[in-house]
Structure 1
């Protein structure tokens, strides 16, 4: 009699065998202990003038994007040896990976968590409203070869933005985590243009996949590897679909592959980008239990030339600050959202060389929230010996900071 084969055990973040329900598998995402709650104070108070007057606080501007021109000139960088990232507000970012030499016809443009709408909600007239406008619209983008969605919350997966992208860039590819493909298909995105992945899965694409012809008589092939990586968050678009689709971050790597006379393929990495999506790091700010996955991401894929890291909570609770109230994340369970200090810890864990703080200042209730995020991010950089983005000094701990909405940062590929 044959012994029946056992089904392979499902991944720890799958809540069922059909990959239609998901969980965070780490203690850092669990409910806070009674001891941690006892250490916390009442989370609501009033904003005080020291946030406005603090030397690290400034008004967050919205500027017209120049797609890296000023940053390249300021840093005196060669375009072909650089990566250019433009923050478009909230978690949205457009990354340009220029051609490796001037003979190629175009750059590769990668768009993350796009939202250009005035509200993040189920309809154009509902949901959280923007405090800061978008710096541009889809028709203003210089290119969009691929879109990366971290999860299905309304402030990261926006119906009007997806439709505008498909109208302006009908051949763009969409990279999403498990469960989001049917939603995109319902929006009119062809299935052939959707790549759905689980954590740690990846897909390779060539320049030809994005409609770019390689240089004539070239023996080198440019290949991109897109990897879906874990994040500590959740998903839902209604009260009844909690955790039904997966959440993730994205790692983008470019390789230059050449063939020697023996025809053995050799590859050298020419650029790496990390977008963390939306993620937490610990149960509460006072908890010593942190998410281990970021060190694993750093060990597998780091170092990164450029990273985009969330530094603030979602906009749902922004109404508190619109009333002048301060909701302290130091005394509020925040397993699904990183604080500024957490973001710097993630920066170090993933071995990022340059990190831009995102997911703040856009869907908030007042400027006070932006001031608070800026101050705490600068303080965290100082305490962890992380240089500012303006620093010209080489440092093992890299650089981190903020840019204005619509501003670009050009970094040299290491």
Structure 2
């Protein structure tokens, strides 16, 4: 099992890295030289401090530029970053709630800022693990942070409203437009786009990203090909392998797609109901002189459960409409029961025995295809799951699932 898991993880790692593309772009070095190249597009969640590139797409050599060596870089129709020396408020909201400070705690730093909308007034963003900041500049105002300070429990100093009222306001923008403006990426993009009276490629692309749907709800019927192997270390007459059977499953899936790395990663939960029933007649052959040499048995199993697989998914885009994906999941048992009954079928015998318990958790790995984020099919491979909780008695449930998904929201 460990060997299979290692192979799957290596496959996932290799395939994932293969999906990180080098895309056409450029960078401007410190001496002002503009270099056309192909930049590795990581769709950065946090603002980068360096980037990797190739001069020609077929080149094997991968080079690196950093904030120390490049003053600007851009990936065509995707993103643009410019280097500035700016004052930034690094104090976290938690610190301000503790101190009650209403004013920014300025630090001067050299940063890459992402261009969101470019025009007479330009909007930028900076993101790290703790903060999401916005900056702006105009023809008369150098780059500075749009100020919003949260302090104490409910206090907020919305300095950005005053900044925009003074520096980024025109006849077509009303006081209501400014005063109702939230410190959010999508709202600020719309505001700066309206002010510039244009629809810049960067602004349009960033607005599309900001409003892109990230939450999906699906119905997920499916079929499992399942079998059970029961073993008793204290009584080998109870060892039985139940036949592989087709089991119908029904469920739903909630998926959240992370808004970074080109929407290639998601987290999902997929509760499903299933019921496995089987019956097996078999002969137990004994070598003991104290037992019948051949004893007929009848074994029945009844297993039903509501499972809750929770996992992470990685998409690999084939084109605009099609993508394949891989999953890694951990499956919990919300409710369920398993019962295996034995009957000695020897004429005149009344011997019977039952084993009842609740099943255990298990891991699963899936491979699938998604079309237009609407339809999907998946093959899911489960690790063996223990159905019994006895010291000497074990029943391993083994299943491969084939699941169809249809997005309803």
Same fold by TM-score greater than 0.5: no
TM-score (norm 1): 0.26
**Which is richer in helix?**
1
Q: From the CA coordinates, give the structure whose radius of gyration is larger.
A: 2
**Which is richer in strand?**
2
TM-score (norm 2): 0.26
